[in-house]
Amino acid sequence: MLPYKLVYHSGYDLNLGDHVFPTQKYRLVRERLLEERIAAEEDFVEPEPSPEEDLLRVHEPGWIRRLKTGTLSFSEILRLEMPYSRDMVRACLLAAGGTTLAARRALRDGVCINLGGGFHHAFPGHGEGFCAIHDIAVAIRRWQAEGLVERAMIVDCDVHHGNGTAAIFAHDPRVFTLSIHQFNNYPAHKPASDVDIHLADETGNEEYLARLRAACVPALSRHRPHLMVYVAGADPYYQDQLGGLSLNLEGLRARDRLVLASALMARIPVAVVLAGGYAVELEDTVTIHVNTARVARDVLERVGWNRREPS
């Protein structure tokens, strides 16, 4: 049994077939966690779809209306880069609800992982890059509104720049945004995060970890967030189809240890979202995500956490 909870819903899997976005990975990660006895059935909690009230703290009413009613324009669907369906909308709402739940559980348990989420390319009025609803922003705004969180920090380790994140929180000093990503990759336009680490093509373990450590640890100390959201993308992997960095499995495990240990040692709870992963071999993406759950368990057991209910 894990010392933290995993958030999962069967609706995360859209069965997109040969699409480069392998949504079946969510189901496969859950199955592998159970098969390898890293997690038990009772470690999983199921989210509800985000209510409209939560969505509208981040997104424009027109975007939510068009998304829910299936009245997106052709260009809006093209920008999403995935087929529109009611199931897709439901999956987005479930992912947002999942990250909101993960943040709440992290405040209590120190860590919680949403097996979905991490849709950091969504903007208030449009979606792009497989991202329609910005689940991270929805979660942070919900708990800020309820007074559970004042300051938050997003550490985005997806291979792609978190452009939607940077835009949404550009003028909010309560939310610190850090993105480490391949510079010569999607998106073409990268709005400024509070800290952007632009990496050259084929950057490997050593440089990646050194630059992340040099930025993340001081930022935690300066901003002193009440919650960290860690975007643990699998796509910095050297065999990712949509990435061009060169981290191997050990480098990705070291990345997870660095981020999680830095936060927990500073007594900052961490909500983890698994985000992107498009390896040539789907099993590699699943392995990377499972390793994140394993590292979170090990770090939490080593550092410890005094379980508490947020006041």
Check pLDDT > 80 for residue 309: no
Label the pairing between strands 44-45 and 270-273. Answer: unpaired
Confidence of residue 17 (pLDDT cuts 50, 70, 90): confident
φ and ψ at 112, to 5 degrees? -150, 140
Domains of the chain by residue range: 5-303
Q: Which fold has domain 5-303?
A: Arginase; Chain A (3.40.800)
Q: Band the pLDDT of 307: cuts 50, 70, 90.
A: low
* Helix/strand number for the chain, H first, E second: 10, 8
Instruction: Indicate the pTM of the whole model.
Output: 0.96
Dihedral, 135, 136, 139, 140 alpha carbons, nearest 10? -150
- The CA distances from residue 88 to 50, 105, 112, 176, 281, in Å, are 14, 25, 24, 29, 24
Q: pLDDT, tens digit, for every residue of 130-175?
A: 999 999 999 999 999 999 999 999 999 999 999 999 999 999 999 9
Rounded Cα gap, residues 213 and 30, in angstroms: 30
Residue ranges of alpha helices (H) inside the chain are 25-35, 52-55, 61-69, 74-80, 86-109, 135-145, 163-168, 205-223, 249-265, 282-303
Helix (H, G, I), strand (E, B) or coil at 182: strand
Position 308 pLDDT exceeds 80: no
Helix (H, G, I), strand (E, B) or coil at 149: coil
Phi then psi for residue 50, to 5 deg, are -60, 135
pLDDT at 58 over 50: yes
**If you average pLDDT over residues 6-29, what whole number do you get?**
92
Rounded distance between C-alpha atoms, residue 179 and residue 162, angstroms: 6
Cβ burial 239-256 (10 Å sphere, 16+ → b, else e): ebebbbbbbeeebbbbbb
Instruction: Considering only the C-alpha atoms of the chain, give the largest distance between any 2 of them, rounded to a whole number of Å.
Output: 51
Tell me what the pLDDT averaged over the chain comes to.
Answer: 96
Span 86-106, pLDDT tens digits: 999 999 999 999 999 999 999
State residue 311's pLDDT score.
43
Contacts of residues 74-79 at CB distance under 8 Å and 24 or more positions apart, as own/partner, are: 76/126, 76/127, 79/126, 79/127, 79/128
Q: What would the pLDDT profile of 268-281 be if each residue is shown by its tens digit? A: 999 999 999 999 99
Are residues 233 and 190 in contact, defined by beta-carbon separation less than 8 angstroms?
A: no
Q: In the numeric block, which tokens belong to residue 165?
A: 């994140």
- 1 has a pLDDT exceeding 80: yes
What is the pLDDT, as a whole number, of residue 310?
A: 47
The whole-number average pLDDT for the span 32-54 is 98
The SS3 of residue 309 is: coil
pLDDT, tens digit, 9 for 90 and up, residues 169-211: 999 999 999 999 999 999 999 999 999 999 999 999 999 999 9
